[in-house]
Amino acid sequence: MTTIHRAVHPARLRAADLTVGYDGFTVLDGLDLDVLTGRVTTIVGPNGCGKSTLLKALARLLRPTGGTVLLDGADIASRKPKDVARTLGLLPQAPTAPDGLTVADLVARGRHPHQSWYRQFSGADDEAVRSAMDLTATRDLADRPVDSLSGGQRQRVWIAMTLAQETDLILLDEPTTYLDLAHAVDVLDLVDDLSREHGKTVVMVLHDLNLAARYSDSMVVMAAGGIVAEGAPADIMTPDLLSEAFGLSATVVDDPVGGAPMVVPIGRCRRR
Ligand SMILES: Nc1ncnc2c1ncn2[C@@H]1O[C@H](COP(=O)(O)OP(=O)(O)OP(=O)(O)O)[C@@H](O)[C@H]1O
Ligand SMILES: [Mg+2]
């Protein structure tokens, strides 16, 4: 396995010898991962290799059959769910909202971990919801039922809900799915701001290798339930790795904007 870290930041979130699966079948087997604090880490890999399983395990939604997930040095399984939800927010790959729930109500649900019987919805909650909707340009959708939105609008609304949670750690499973390229770039610029200006730690899953390379401090390349390479995009994105992880024949050039590695698949190439 290739492991190249450019800078050492203490990991607030760590998988140690993590083994996770479903109904007796193992997906991740003894996986180790340190999530770099304040940085953007992107997990890539072929369909079914275990990316979402890893994210769910990191967020305490799946209980490991072996090993541990450590949040701030403590086993995440021993922490109260609400306590975890104030520190770590997960946008799952295919979230579902109750029928008829409005956008404003869905985004407000991001504030639940901050409430209790003695602490009702406050001005700070209102402000967090408003700010999350501004950042995702979803304010004009506030009164619409979530189930009436287009795929891309819905995706932005779910991102707003995750941001309203105001956690230091944000896990996003394919946040750009359904988004047109302009909105995808907006979301990734927002991720960049969250990391650089607000010190958030972001772990996301993306399929677009070129956007992943451009927006990530570190990439984690998975295949068949394990990590095959990990490190700064410029250090790890090679034709050999793409062949090993994806079975993809490709060349890697410098992105003319910014110089990140850019993957150009060979495939069938014909002038049109
Ligand atoms: N709830 C579940 N019950 C049983 N098996 C599951 C469940 N969720 C995922 N799996 C299986 O676990 C393996 C890993 O799935 P996972 O969703 O983690 O893949 P992924 O890398 O996120 O793929 P994709 O790119 O398609 O989203 C697959 O074989 C999948 O069929
Ligand atoms: Mg997935």
**Cβ–Cβ < 8 Å for 32, 86:** no
Q: Is the CB of 24 under 6 A from ligand 1?
A: no
The closest ligand to the CA of 92 turns out to be 2
pLDDT at 269: 77
**Confidence band of 9 (pLDDT split at 50, 70, 90):** low
Share of the chain above pLDDT 90, in %: 79
CATH of domain 6-236: 3.40.50.300
**Cβ–Cβ < 8 Å for 69, 77:** yes
Gyration radius (Cα) of the chain, Å: 19
pLDDT at 89: 96
Q: Is the CB of 49 under 6 A from ligand 1?
A: yes
The closest ligand to the CA of 207 turns out to be 1
Q: Is the CB of 162 under 6 A from ligand 1?
A: no
pTM of the shown model: 0.92
Nearest CA to ligand 1 atom 3: 22
Q: How far is CA 149 from CA 35, 140, 183, in A?
A: 34, 12, 15
59 CA to centre of ligand 2 in angstroms: 14
Residue 223 contacts by C-beta under 8 Å, 6 or more apart in sequence? 45, 46, 49, 244, 245, 246
Residue pLDDT, tens place only, 49-106: 999 999 999 999 999 999 999 999 999 999 999 999 999 999 999 899 999 999 999 9
Q: Is the CB of 120 under 6 A from ligand 1?
A: no
Q: Is 63 exposed, middle or buried (0-12, 13-18, 19+ CB in 10 A)?
A: exposed
Q: Is the CB of 48 under 6 A from ligand 1?
A: yes
Q: Which of 49, 173, 207 to mutate to test the pocket of ligand 1 (most atoms within 8 A of CB)?
A: 49
**Confidence band of 120 (pLDDT split at 50, 70, 90):** confident
pLDDT at 115: 79
Task: Give dist(CA 58, CA 92) in Å, integer.
Answer: 12
Q: Which two tokens stand for residue 31?
A: 């996986």
pLDDT at 122: 80
Residue 270: pLDDT above 50?
yes
First to last CA, the chain: 40
Q: Is the CB of 50 under 6 A from ligand 1?
A: yes
pLDDT at 3: 53
Q: Which two tokens stand for residue 175?
A: 């946040």
State which amino acid sits at residue 214.
R
pLDDT at 10: 66
212 CA to centre of ligand 1 in angstroms: 21
Residue pLDDT, tens place only, 50-61: 999 999 999 999
Q: How many CA atoms lie within 13 A of 188 on its CB side?
A: 24
Least confident of 113-127, 165-179, 232-246: 113-127
Q: Is the CB of 216 under 6 A from ligand 1?
A: no
pLDDT at 2: 53
What DSSP assignment string belongs to the chain?
-EEE-SS---EEEEEEEEEEEETTEEEEEEEEEEEETTSEEEEE--TTSSHHHHHHHHTTSS--SEEEEEETTEEGGGS-HHHHHTTEEEE-SS----TT-BHHHHHHHTTGGG-BTTB-S-HHHHHHHHHHHHHTT-GGGTTSBGGGS-HHHHHHHHHHHHHHT--SEEEEESTTTT--HHHHHHHHHHHHHHHHTT--EEEEE-S-HHHHHHH-SEEEEEETTEEEEEE-HHHH--HHHHHHHH---EEEEE-TTT--EEEEE-SS----
Nearest CA to ligand 1 atom 16: 50
Q: Is 161 exposed, middle or buried (0-12, 13-18, 19+ CB in 10 A)?
A: buried
Question: For residue 50, which atom of ligand 1 is closest to its CA?
Answer: 18
Q: Which of 22, 178, 220 to mutate to test the pocket of ligand 1 (most atoms within 8 A of CB)?
A: 22
**Confidence band of 108 (pLDDT split at 50, 70, 90):** very high
**Cβ–Cβ < 8 Å for 72, 14:** no
Q: Is the CB of 210 under 6 A from ligand 1?
A: no
pLDDT at 6: 45
Residues at Cβ < 5 Å from ligand 2 ion: 51-52, 93
Residue 140: pLDDT above 90?
yes
